[in-house]
Structure 1
Amino acid sequence: MFRHDPAAVRERRKASVEDRRVWAENAGDGMAVLHASMTAENVRVAAARVDALASSVCDGDPRRDGARRSDAVFALLSGDVFECQCDRGDDCDATIPAPAMVQAAEAQVIIHVITEAATLDDPEPEAEPAPEAAQPAAVEADSEAAASATTVPTATDVDDAEPTLFEGSDAGSVSEDPEPADPVAAEPDSPKEPEPKPTAEPTTTRAYSPRHSGVGFMDGYGVISGDYVRELTKRTGAVVRPINPAGKALSPHLPSDPYRPSRAMSLFVRIRDGYCTVPGCDKPAFAGDLDHVHEYDHENPATGGQTTAAGLATKCRMHHQMKTDGVFLDDQYIDATGKARQIFYTQNGATIHGYAESGDDLFPTLRDITFTDPEPPPKHPPPQPNAPESPTRRRPRLADTHARRRQERERNRKALAGEQPDQARLNTQDSPPY
Structure 2
Amino acid sequence: MFDGSLPEIARLASLSDAEVVDGAAEWARAENAACARKLAFMAELFARRTGLPAGERELWWIDPQAAVTAEIGAAVNVSPAMALHQTHRGVALRDRLPRVAALFTAGLISEVLVRAIVTRTYLIIDPDVMAAVDAALAERVTRWGPLSVRKTEDAIDALVEEHDPGALRRTRETASTESVQFGSPGDVAGMTSMWARLNAARAALIEARLDEMARSVCDGDPRTLEQRRVEALEAIAAGAALACTCGQPDCTRGTGQRPTKNTVVYVVVDEEALDASEPPAERAADPAPQPAAEPAAEKLPAQCRPAPPAYVFGGGVLPPALLSAILGRAQLREVRHPGETAPEPRYTPSRQTCEFVRCRDLTCRFPGCDQPAQVCDIDHTVPYPLGPTHPSNLKCLCRFHHMLKTFWNGRAGWQDRQLPDGTVIWTSPTGHTYTTHPGAQHLYPRLCQPTADLWSGEPPIVQPDDQRGLMMPRRRQTRAEYTNKTVATERRLNDDLVVERNKPPPF
Q: Which TM-score band applies after superposition, normalised by the shorter structure?
A: 0.3 to 0.5
> Which one has the bigger helix percentage?
2
Question: TM-score of the superposition, structure 1-length normalised?
Answer: 0.40
> Which one has the bigger strand percentage?
1
